[in-house]
Structure formats: structure tokens, C-alpha cells
Amino acid sequence: MPRLDGRNHINLTVVDLERSTAFYCSVFEMVVVNDVTPPESGFRFRTLLHTASFASVVLGCVEDPPEGGVDGDRFDERRPGLHHLAYHVPERADLDEWVTHLDAVGVAHSGITTSKHEAGSQIWLRDPDNIWLEFYWVNRDFFVDRLRQVWRRDRRTTRA
């Protein structure tokens, strides 16, 4: 089976590259590690990296947007495509630290909430383009139990 190592990046198209860079660097304490405009792409891409986890966000901005802007140039999770972007934290107490940090940098957020449909707690916020972001703590015991249930069911099915 092909493996994944849990690292990823996401590429977000933004309206204002400088504004979004400032937001992600302030909120996530990321640093800019690359800034390129590939020939004939029509985009300028800026890669931001969280130095402790190597999580990254690539921000892309149209170099020469059409006059009048792009239709629907504000994110809405109700349209097909991305719903939200989530970053997992190792411990539930890490969410308390994120609340303190978000308050210190002046970013509006939901406070810590607890999921009714999953076992975990989270903080919700929006970036400058209205993209919905989440810091999420997973109750691993809940999901390990769910995996055991699936494996037991599968084992019973293959024996029958």
C-alpha cells in the first residue's frame, strides 16, 4: 500500500498576496521560504512554512486580474470545492494556547468548541479571503475504538 507521512501543503488562491502573507505569518508564525512567478502561469506563488511542523501554505495570486475582479472573489464554503482547512494539534491544552495567541494578534475566532458529530475540540476562524480555518484536537481513543469496530465487522464479514 502506498504510504503517506502526514505532511501536506495546500495552495490557496488569494485576492491580496501581501495581506494574506501577513495574516498567515502572524497567525501561524510561518515564514516565507519561496516567492516565484512561473513564466506564463499568470500567478505569483508564495510558499509559507511553519518551521516546527513543516506544514506549509502556498498562496497564489493572479498577476493580472481581469477588470472588475473575478466572479465570486470571496471564499464561500457552500460552493463546490474546499470547505475548510484544518490543522491538528497534539494535545487538547494546545487549543488554550492558540486562543491566547489569536487574542494577542487580534484575530477573531470561535473560542474552543466541542464537536457533537466527532470526538474532538476545535477553534474556528477566517483568513482575509474568508477561508474557513480550524485548529483541531482529535480524541484518538474515540477513533481507535471506531477503527476496532470496523475491523471486527470486517473480520465477521469475511468469516461468513
Provide the pLDDT for residue 32.
95
**Do 88 and 47 reside in the same domain of the chain?**
no
C-alpha distance across the termini of the chain, in Å: 26
Q: pTM of the entire structure?
A: 0.76
**Do 98 and 156 reside in the same domain of the chain?**
yes
Using alpha carbons only, how large is the chain's radius of gyration in Å? Answer: 19
Q: For the chain, what is the domain count?
A: 2
**Do 45 and 91 reside in the same domain of the chain?**
no
Answer whether residue 73 is part of any domain: no
**Do 88 and 152 reside in the same domain of the chain?**
yes
The CATH number of whichever domain residue 155 belongs to comes to: 3.10.180.10
**Do 117 and 51 reside in the same domain of the chain?**
no
**Do 35 and 105 reside in the same domain of the chain?**
no
Provide the pLDDT for residue 110.
97
Residue ranges making up the domain that contains 131: 84-160
**Do 102 and 153 reside in the same domain of the chain?**
yes
Q: Which residues contact 115 (CB under 8 A, 6 or more apart)?
A: 121, 122
Provide the pLDDT for residue 103.
97
Positions of the chain with pLDDT lower than 50, given as ranges: none
**Do 101 and 151 reside in the same domain of the chain?**
yes
**Do 97 and 140 reside in the same domain of the chain?**
yes
**Do 31 and 100 reside in the same domain of the chain?**
no
Provide the pLDDT for residue 54.
84
Measured over the CA atoms of residue 12, residue 18, residue 24 and residue 30, the dihedral's sign is positive
Provide the pLDDT for residue 63.
81
Contacts for 87-92 with beta carbons within 8 Å, 24 or more apart?
87/28, 87/55, 87/133, 87/134, 87/135, 87/136, 88/136, 88/137, 88/138, 89/135, 89/136, 89/137, 90/137, 91/137, 92/121, 92/137
Answer whether residue 79 is part of any domain: no
- The DSSP element (H or E) to which 136 belongs, if any, is strand 132-138
**Do 60 and 105 reside in the same domain of the chain?**
no
